[in-house]
Amino acid sequence: MRVFVIAFMALFLSKPVWAQVSSYADIVEEVMPSVVNISTEKEVNETQDSEIDNLMLAPDLKGRESLGSGFFISKNGHILTNYHVIKGAKKISVITNDGKTFEAKTAGVDTRSDLAVLKIDKGKTPFKAVVFGNADEARIGDIILAFGNPYGLGISVSSGIISAKSRNIGASGLAYLQTDAAINQGNSGGPMFNLDGEVIGVNSAVFASYGANGVGFSLPSNIAAWVATQLMDNGKVKRGWLGMSVANGIDQYTETPGFVITEINEESNAYKEGLRVGDIITKYNDLPADDLDAFYRFTEMLEPGQALRLKTLSFGEEIRNVIRIQEMPANVLNIVSHKALIENSKNAYTDEDDGVSYLPELNLAVKEATPRGLMIVKLEKKSLLYGKGIKEGDIILEANRNDIYTVNNLKDSLQEALLDEERSVSLLIQGTQNTFYTTFEPVAFDDKD
């Protein structure tokens, strides 16, 4: 019996660390002074903020007060919050945890990340700034604490876990942390802390459709801290730009996976260094080309003028490039998204559709896509492309490394292949999930068949 009791006690005392957490009071007490309430008076009659955050901000009437949250990122009175919290405000008021009210000025905004930095006079006492953690190191299942000003009740805290990472919620193509912690109207701009008392996210949106609960999103701290630093220092954000769009692909000559270049700006340094559509990036700064989001985030956060080392494959030949990063032009705000392709793939084909052409050589129907390529709107089972992973809604971008804009372009490539002894045609296909090459052997078409 004694042995059993000792064994039971040992089992009880050795339970996992997460099961031993009985209170978050110490953490809350430590970080609470960094969190603030934000209220604004709007000049506009109504807002479109619900497109980003369809629960945290209701449409505002002129002069009506809008509520949100924020947190100190410097002891001198810099505050980070969501841009949509203060958008259109004619007056911004900040209430600290000890009940003091300050009028705030906007130090800088970044619409792409939906972040803004405010500044208030510090007075005699320095403010308590947060410490940013590394959101990349956070794991699904980690316990987090979300702070904010729900429904204007005052600074509050809720607990939950990280439900998912790298969620694309349609807001500028950025990847968000998902949590089941209670996030409500007024929590916008509030911090998400880990159990080390570090900020790993900025509460930015909730999923409110169909009465869903427990689905909130926070912008990761790695992006938020980078944006906040630039807004404090410069009042705006300078982003790196390669001047190209890429997608997951495989080199047709070596079967090496990587990022295939699907679009490239002829004014970019990358183009001037010899990179072209169809080339495959296999490494960047010695990092493997296996995560598109990580690649875009990495290049975007490089300073203009910095060098980026690329290892690429062009027609199967390995080339090493050094590209000087340029500043992203003002009109380039979003990375390439496949959303439009997914929607286009739902379109049904009929013989009466305008702009649709039928290619008997390939037993498929296509129509011109924007800005280039031919969208496949009907693919028959007897087609030479059937069974090659191609689906209706996919876009033919190239044929034998020639850009495709019209049906005649594709027919010319088919005819050239038929005149060639090897008779192979290589197509670059942009699908809803990735971009890839496929090769087939064309056959002569007899319109008498």
Instruction: Assess whether pLDDT exceeds 90 at residue 421.
Output: no
Q: Is the peptide bond before 371 cis (omega within 30 degrees of 0)?
A: yes
Environment class of 335 (CB within 10 Å of its CB; exposed 0-12, middle 13-18, buried 19+): middle
Q: Is the pLDDT of residue 432 over 70?
A: no
Pick the residue with more confidence: 315 or 354?
A: 315
Buried b / exposed e over 289-317, threshold 16 CB at 10 Å, is: beeeebbbbebbbbeeeeebebbbbbeee
Q: Is the pLDDT of residue 32 over 80?
A: yes
Active site includes 78? Answer: no
- All domains of the chain, ordered by start, with CATH? 25-119 (2.40.10.10), 135-220 (2.40.10.10), 240-327 (2.30.42.10), 339-440 (2.30.42.10)
Query: What is the pLDDT, as a whole number, of residue 30?
Result: 92
DSSP state of 171: S
- 202-214 average pLDDT score: 64
114: pLDDT confidence band, cut at 50, 70 and 90? Answer: confident
**Given pLDDT bands bounded at 50, 70 and 90, which one contains residue 245?**
confident
- Find, among 27, 61, 29, 65, the residue nearest to 46 by Cα: 61
294: part of which helix (H) or strand (E)? Answer: helix 292-300
Q: Which has more pLDDT, 11 or 206?
A: 206
Higher pLDDT, residue 124 or 126: 126
pLDDT tens profile 352-397: 456 788 888 888 899 888 778 898 988 888 888 888 888 888 889 8
- Beta strand extents in 229-373 (DSSP E only): 240-241, 244-250, 257-264, 280-284, 287-288, 307-314, 317-324, 326-327, 356-359, 364-368
Catalytic residue list contains 233: no
- Rounded to the nearest 5°, which phi and psi values hold at 292? -60, -45
Q: Three-state SS for 425? A: strand
DSSP 7-74: HHHHHHHT--HHHH----HHHHHHHGGGEEEEEEEE-SS---GGGT-TTT-PPPPTT-EEEEEEEESS
354: number of Cβ within 10 Å: 5
Of residues 19 and 207, the one with the higher pLDDT is 207
Say which residue the tokens 């129509």 belong to.
367
Whether pLDDT at 12 is above 70: no
Q: What is the mean pLDDT of residues 289-313?
A: 90
Has residue 221 got a pLDDT over 80? yes
Select which of 84, 180, 383, 413 is catalytic.
Answer: 84
Q: Which of 187, 72, 63 is nearest to 118 (CA)?
A: 72
Averaged pLDDT for residues 118-141: 88
The answer to whether 84 is a known catalytic residue is yes
Q: Which one is predicted more confidently, 61 or 259?
A: 259
% of the chain beyond a pLDDT of 90? 31
Average pLDDT along the chain: 79
pLDDT score, position 173: 56
DSSP H helices, 359-432, are 407-419
pLDDT in tens, 325-356: 999 887 775 443 333 333 333 333 344 456 78
Tell me if 98 sits within 8 A of 59, measured CB to CB. Answer: no
What is the rounded CA–CA span in Å between residue 215 and residue 288?
32
Q: Residue 227: what pLDDT?
A: 94
Q: Are the C-beta atoms of 167 and 180 separated by less than 8 Å? A: no
Q: Which of 39, 66, 158, 188 is catalytic?
A: 188
Is the pLDDT at 166 greater than 90? The verdict is no
Which pLDDT belongs to residue 297?
Answer: 85
Looking at residue 401, its pLDDT comes to 80
Instruction: Answer yes or no: is pLDDT of 56 > 50.
Output: no
Q: Indicate which residue of 114, 180, 251, 394 is catalytic.
A: 114
Identify which has the larger pLDDT, 9 or 311.
311
144's enclosing H/E stretch is strand 143-148
Whether the per-residue pLDDT at 153 is higher than 80: the answer is no
Q: Indicate whether 427 pLDDT > 80.
A: yes
Per-residue pLDDT band for 151 (boundaries 50, 70, 90) equals low
Mean pLDDT of 304-330: 92
Confidence at residue 21, expressed as pLDDT on a 0 to 100 scale? 66
Cα angle, residue 309 at apex, residues 306 and 314 outer, rounded to 5°: 135
